[in-house]
Amino acid sequence: AALALVGERLAAIRNTHGKDAIAMYYGNPNGHNFGAQIYTQLFIQLLDTQRFFSAGSVDQQPKNLSCELLYGSAWTFPIPDIDRCDYFICMGANPLVSQGSLMSAPDVGARFRALRERDGRLVVIDPRRTETAELADWHLSIRPGTDAFLLLAIVNLLFENERVQPGHLAEHIDGLERLRTLARSFTPGAVSPITGIGAPDIRRLYEEFCATTRPVVYGRIGLCTQEFGTLSSWLVDVVNLLRGRLDTEGGAMFPRPATGQGEDSDAVGELQRARWHSRVRGFPEYMSMLPATLMAEELAWDGEDRARALITVAGNPVLSVPNGDRLHAAVGKLDFVVALDIYINETSSLADVILPSTVQLEHSNYDFLFQSTAVRNFARYSPRVLEPEPGARDQWQLLLELVGRMNAMSVEHLDQLIFDGLAQRIADTLPDCDVARIKSLAGDECGPERLLDMMLRAGPHGERFAGGDGLTLARLKSAEHGIDLGPLMPGRLPGILRTAGKRIRLLHPLIEADVARLRQRLGKQNPAGLLLIGRRHIRDMNSWLHNLHHFVRGKSRCTLRVHPEDAARLGLRDEGQAQVRSAVAERIVTVEISDDVMPGVVSLPHGFGHRYPGTRQALASEHAGVSVNDLVGDGLDLPSGTSIVNGVTVEVSAVAP
Ligand SMILES: Nc1nc2c(c(=O)[nH]1)N[C@H]1C(S)=C(S)[C@@H](COP(=O)(O)OP(=O)(O)OC[C@H]3O[C@@H](n4cnc5c(=O)[nH]c(N)nc54)[C@H](O)[C@@H]3O)O[C@H]1N2
Ligand SMILES: Nc1nc2c(c(=O)[nH]1)N[C@H]1C(S)=C(S)[C@@H](COP(=O)(O)OP(=O)(O)OC[C@H]3O[C@@H](n4cnc5c(=O)[nH]c(N)nc54)[C@H](O)[C@@H]3O)O[C@H]1N2
Ligand SMILES: [Mo]
């Protein structure tokens, strides 16, 4: 009945008001659910809405864009070879807590300790002395949002001292000379006052990077969700490239997913950007999405062509994206809201219908996304652990039910479309294999496992539908702990490039325009005020684990960390209250005095702020905290549209007890 109601209402809204009347937000847990991922593209295509938002624009989209510009494909991420490098520069990431992210690696701590045991060194560049920095040989505090200056200074030093040596990639790169010119004004002396890192330290970093045999730079979310997110993410790869540290052992290499997404191809990827614009401020779309930061204003907009409905798919944007409080108000005014979610939380409580999926342990899984970000090649299948309740549906079924009902198509029919398409694609790439054979081996059971089996068979380790002893899903299932497919391999370039002529595009007009924007800051005073950054903890997972006792017990973690010098100047007490005021809001927070943040920087974790009525999260409400995303405002990394949640100017003042 719920599915029928949702199907009817969404179809009616679309028929009356057009496809863009239905907005959609796609959240993080989908990345941990292979069934959902396999059907996502179809879901998005059939919804075909220009009002599509996702957690990606508070996350990795600057890296998507920089990879797309450099290599022609948004999901071709170079992953640092943590197990074989001898000098690891970690920027804007805290893998000891996060378990890596665009460097997925179990037990990162042991790997860093192994690095040091083989006489390698770990350097952490972060405004906070993080858990990872505690393990490091050298921690450099950097002023938030200024990594692009530091990295361009390194680029400049490499050119000035004729240390540019791209190695085996030299003949495949376009734009080297132009880059030399662009980097010229970014000298250590010029960037030092901006970054807060002394010129001698910048030179030492450069010297050590050049003097070690297997250095590598890694950058993550602290480099993405900042003012120059795309530039910083791009520069991480550029520095690796200029020293021949890309696509090489101990450097950054490209994983080779067993399902075949990372194979050589003659296909040329087109940059998908600015095909439409947001209604309110005309911001360009990227990867078919508009910035999550703009979701509140886009949903509140009351023009003729306004949004009438919203679908959230495993996301809690009221807490996880900027302007969440305004979003809460805007969503409340829509005609119809459906949430695919397992909790009644700050976002789903606004829904007319909540469609809960099976949870992690109730469905099988394959590490579909993480095989393209992992530090070793591997394939792993996790069987279902718990039987779901009768009638429970997997996330992929709900996705297909939704668009199926809107388009008068059954789940089976939609699945068949995907199945046929995949079989045809595989037949086109495997010379000795026809569609009929592929289909007969794949069987006729509807669902993601059949598709996964086909991808594994067709992939680089697969049996190729030839009956040999290569990989199939059945074989993977019998490997209880997964299959180790070995270390990442060098020499993937230029084969996997999707650029025209298989060139590495060092420069692009989007990059050049942003370097020009960066250059305008040279020689200027740093703006006054404290800079706010985020923080992750082991026992938080974005916004959604706070209703479980094990994860919230103990001292509150939603504290504003302030350096002792700033605390003294502002008259703040440890565990006392302070008011944080930004350009868009003010909030009362609990202070934690700590010298792990650098002077001039304060840190507040995201995912808290469980203060909305109507949720059914009693425990989370007791540990409400404050949503940092209410404070951060509208700032965007301009090329990618990613939220600036790090390096936000705030004022802090004591609140009398
Ligand atoms: N200020 C600031 N904001 C940030 C960040 C930051 O560093 N600073 N980080 C950003 C990042 S990296 C991310 S990825 C986003 C995350 O942004 P979101 O994905 O929007 O937020 P989550 O809190 O992860 O919400 C996940 C939702 O999925 C639901 N859920 C969990 N498991 C399942 C499931 O199996 N099925 C279904 N149907 N639902 C499920 C949960 O109940 C919850 O509502 O937050 C971003 N926001
Ligand atoms: N326990 C736990 N694990 C998680 C998550 C979680 O919420 N909890 N979230 C998961 C998700 S969705 C993601 S995307 C990943 C993220 O994985 P990471 O990127 O490793 O996670 P963070 O801990 O947010 O690390 C970002 C770092 O950037 C620093 N930083 C902030 N601003 C700047 C800046 O301007 N320059 C530099 N150089 N550094 C800066 C911050 O101080 C912080 O240490 O983690 C994943 N793992
Ligand atoms: Mo994320």
For position 657, what pLDDT does the model report? 82
Percentage of residues in the chain having pLDDT higher than 70? 100
Asked if 28 and 542 count as a contact pair (C-beta separation under 8 A), the reply is yes
Asked if 91 and 197 count as a contact pair (C-beta separation under 8 A), the reply is no
Q: Which ligand is nearest to the CA of 235?
A: 2
Q: How far is the CA of 179 from the centre of ligand 3 (A)?
A: 31
Cα–Cα dist 596/85, whole Å: 27
As residues whose CB is below 5 A from the ion ligand 3, the structure lists: 59
3-state SS assignment for residue 586: strand
Cα–Cα dist 464/457, whole Å: 5
Q: pLDDT (tens digit, 9 = 90+) per residue, 137-191?
A: 999 999 999 999 999 999 999 999 999 999 999 999 999 999 999 999 999 999 9
Q: How far is the CA of 222 from the centre of ligand 2 (A)?
A: 6
**pLDDT band, residue 310 (cuts 50/70/90):** very high
Pocket of ligand 2 (CB under 6 A): 28, 59, 91-95, 97-99, 101, 125-128, 130, 142, 144-145, 147, 220-223, 226, 533-534, 536, 538, 540-542, 646-647
Cα–Cα dist 276/287, whole Å: 11
- The number of the ligand 2 atom at minimal distance from the alpha carbon of 132 is 44
Residue 432 has pLDDT above 90, yes or no: no
- The number of the ligand 2 atom at minimal distance from the alpha carbon of 542 is 7
Cα–Cα dist 95/220, whole Å: 9
Q: Which ligand is nearest to the CA of 348?
A: 1
Q: How far is the CA of 293 from the centre of ligand 3 (A)?
A: 15
**pLDDT band, residue 634 (cuts 50/70/90):** very high
Q: How far is the CA of 631 from the centre of ligand 2 (A)?
A: 18
Rounded average pLDDT over 560-570:
98
**pLDDT band, residue 490 (cuts 50/70/90):** very high
Cα–Cα dist 513/578, whole Å: 39
Cα–Cα dist 43/46, whole Å: 5
Q: How far is the CA of 258 from the centre of ligand 2 (A)?
A: 28
What the block records as the tokens of 347 is: 């976002």
**pLDDT band, residue 130 (cuts 50/70/90):** very high
- The number of the ligand 1 atom at minimal distance from the alpha carbon of 360 is 35
Q: To test ligand 2's pocket by mutation, which of 26, 91, 373, 536 has the most ligand atoms within 8 angstroms of CB?
A: 536
Rounded average pLDDT over 532-555:
96
Q: To test ligand 2's pocket by mutation, which of 221, 526, 628 has the most ligand atoms within 8 angstroms of CB?
A: 221
Helices 61-71 and 229-242: crossing angle in degrees, nearest 10, is 40
246 has which bridge partners?
252
Q: Which ligand is nearest to the CA of 93?
A: 2
Give the pairing type, strands 87-91 and 22-26.
Answer: unpaired
What the block records as the tokens of 283 is: 């911001």
**pLDDT band, residue 437 (cuts 50/70/90):** very high
Our CA angle for 457, 458, 459, nearest 5°, is 95
Q: What is the DSSP letter of 598?
A: P
For the question of whether the overall pTM of this predicted structure is more than 0.85, the answer is: yes
Cα–Cα dist 246/167, whole Å: 9
For position 266, what pLDDT does the model report? 92
- Work out the number of other CB atoms within 10 angstroms of the CB of residue 616: 12
- Please, where are the H alpha helices in 75-170? 95-98, 108-117, 131-135, 147-160
**Amino acid identity, position 392:** A
What the block records as the tokens of 325 is: 């409080």
**pLDDT band, residue 620 (cuts 50/70/90):** very high
Phi, psi of 61 (to 5 degrees): -60, -30
Residue 431 has pLDDT above 90, yes or no: no
Nearest residue to 192 via CA among 237, 143, 122? 143
- 450's enclosing H/E stretch is helix 448-458
Residue 78 has pLDDT above 90, yes or no: yes
Residue 233 has pLDDT above 90, yes or no: yes
Taking CA atoms only, the protein residue closest to ligand 1 atom 6 is 606
Residue 232 has pLDDT above 90, yes or no: yes
Rounded average pLDDT over 394-410:
96
Nearest residue to 549 via CA among 618, 494, 608, 471? 618
Pocket of ligand 1 (CB under 6 A): 27-29, 55, 58-59, 221, 314-317, 320, 340-343, 345, 357, 359-360, 395, 534, 542-544, 606-607, 628-629, 632, 645
Nearest residue to 57 via CA among 647, 637, 646, 649? 637
Rounded average pLDDT over 620-635:
97
- Please, where are the H alpha helices in 118-167? 131-135, 147-160
